[in-house]
Amino acid sequence: MKVVKLDPVNPDQDKLLEPAELIKNGELVAFPTETVYGLGADATSDKACLKIYEAKGRPPDNPLIVHINSFEMFFKYTDFHDERILKIMEEIWPGPITLVVKKRNIGDVPTSGLDTVAIRMPGHPIALKLIELSDRPIAAPSANISGRPSPTRASHVISDLGNRIPMIIDGGETFFGLESTVIQPVQDKIFILRPGPFSPEEIEEKFKMKVVLSGTEQHVPRAPGMKYRHYAPNKKLVIANDLDEILKLYKENPNALVLCSKETAEKFEGNKYILGSRENLYEIAKNLFHSFRYLDQSDYSIGIIEKFQEAGIGYAIMNRIKKAASKN
Ligand code: TXA
Ligand code: MG
C-alpha cells in the first residue's frame, strides 16, 4: 500500500492525480474527511463499491455514504427538490452532515438496494479535491475493519486495512473525530438516524422542524448500520457515572485503564488516558476513537470510561461510548 502525505489545509493538487486515477479505475483509496477517514470508491460503479464491502468485511445490507463536491452533483444523483431544505443545506454544506434522500443514477451496491441514498459534501480540502479530480461522486464508509472504531488518523487505517487497499492519503488527524450526523427529512419532521458533530439542538434551530431521534418513536426510519455493534474496542469497556464509581470500579479491576477528562484525571491517581477537557467536548470527541485503539494495544485488561454530558456534541459522544460498552 502506498501512503501519500498531504497538507490538510492546502493539499498539493499534483499529488492527488494518482489517487484520483485509482478511483476512476475502480480501485480503493482511503482519504481524510473532517469527521473520520473514509474508504473511497467510484460511487457510480457497483463493481468498485463491492470492493469496499470486501475490504472492510462489511455486511452487504449496510449502505454507504456518497460524497459529492457540488450541488450539480447532488441533483445528478438524487431526486429531491424541497427548496426550503435545500437552502439550509447550502448553508451547512460542506460539513459533517449526511442527508438521506431519494436516489437517482446510483446502483444497488452502494445503497444496499434501497431507493434512497445517504449523501454528503465533506468539509475537507483533500476530500473535495479528490472528488473534483476523480470527476465523480465517491462512496466512502469509515475506513476501518467493520465493527472497529472509525479511524481518525492515517495510522489507524494502515493498521486495519494496510494490506487490503492500494493507497491511503495521509492528511493528519481528522478534525471532529466522530462520524457525520445522518438525517432524513420525512414530511414535516427531521429524523436523526445517527447522531454526530451537528447536534440535535443545532438541527432543530437550523431547520425549524420537529426533530425525532432514531429509536425514540416507533416506526421511524433507521440507518441500517445502527443495528450493528460498532466503534468497539476489543477489550471490555464500562461506563462510570462519576468519580466515586470510577474509584469503585478501579478497585475491583486494578489492571484497568481509566479514560477520562483532565478534570477527573486531576483527582484520580491510577492508570489513565486523558481525553481532553470536559469544558470542550470537541476535544473529547476528537480523541475518543484513538483512546479505544490505545486501550486495545495496551496491556490493560479493561477500560473504565467517564460519562459525559449529553448535550451538543456530547450526545454523539455518549452514543458512541454506549455502543462500545454494549459489547460486553
Ligand atoms: O462522517 C462520516 O459519515 C464518514 C465519512 C467517511 O464521511 N462515513 C461514515 O460512513 O461514517 P459509514 O458507512 O461508517 O456510516 C454510514 C451510515 C451507516 O449507519 C448507514 O447505515 C447509514 O449511514 N446509511 C447509508 N445509506 C443510508 C440510507 N440510504 N438510508 C439510511 N441510512 C443510510
Ligand atoms: Mg463506519
The whole domain housing 6 covers 2-176
Report the nearest-CA residue for atom 21 of ligand 1: 225
Distance CA 97, CA 178 (A): 11
More confident residue, 302 or 326: 302
Q: Do 7 and 152 lie in a common domain?
A: yes
Q: Report residues whose beta carbon is within 6 angstroms of any ligand 1 atom.
A: 33, 35-36, 38, 62-65, 98, 100, 111, 114, 116-118, 120, 122, 140-142, 179-180, 182, 193-194, 223-226
Atom of ligand 1 nearest to the CA of 120: 7
pLDDT for residue 314: 97
220-272 per-position pLDDT tens digit: 566 776 666 666 788 999 999 999 999 999 999 989 999 999 999 999 999 99
Q: Would 258 be classed as within a structural domain?
A: yes
Q: What value does the mean pLDDT of the chain take?
A: 95
Q: Would 114 be classed as within a structural domain?
A: yes
283-294 per-position pLDDT tens digit: 999 999 999 999
Asked if 194 and 181 touch (Cβ cutoff 8 Å), the reply is yes
HEC readout, 272-299: EEEEECCCCHHHHHHHHHHHHHHHHHCC
Q: Do 124 and 50 lie in a common domain?
A: yes
Q: Do 255 and 169 lie in a common domain?
A: no
Report if pTM > 0.85: yes
Q: Would 196 be classed as within a structural domain?
A: no
State in Å: Cα 63 to ligand 1 middle.
7
Q: Would 215 be classed as within a structural domain?
A: no
Q: Would 171 be classed as within a structural domain?
A: yes
**CATH number (domain holding residue 257):** 3.40.50.11030
Q: Do 121 and 268 lie in a common domain?
A: no
pLDDT for residue 233: 85
Flag whether pLDDT at 278 surpasses 70.
Answer: yes
Distance CA 184, CA 226 (A): 14
Q: Which of 176, 198, 223 is the last residue of a domain?
A: 176
Q: Do 167 and 263 lie in a common domain?
A: no
pLDDT (mean) for 49-59:
97
Q: Which of 138, 159, 176 is the last residue of a domain?
A: 176
**CATH number (domain holding residue 165):** 3.90.870.10
Q: Which of 176, 198, 224 is the last residue of a domain?
A: 176
Ligand at shortest distance from the CA of 225: 1
Q: Would 199 be classed as within a structural domain?
A: no
pLDDT for residue 114: 96
Q: Would 211 be classed as within a structural domain?
A: no
Q: Do 12 and 135 lie in a common domain?
A: yes
Q: Would 292 be classed as within a structural domain?
A: yes
State in Å: Cα 206 to ligand 1 middle.
22
User: Considering only CA atoms, which of 80, 100, 61 is closest in space to residue 194?
Assistant: 100
Report the number of distinct structural domains present in the chain. Answer: 2
Q: Do 153 and 242 lie in a common domain?
A: no
108-127 per-position pLDDT tens digit: 999 999 999 999 999 999 99
State in Å: Cα 62 to ligand 1 middle.
8
66-112 per-position pLDDT tens digit: 999 999 999 999 999 999 999 999 999 999 999 999 999 999 999 99
Q: Do 24 and 134 lie in a common domain?
A: yes
The DSSP string of 28-55 is -EEEE-SSSEEEEEETT-HHHHHHHHHH
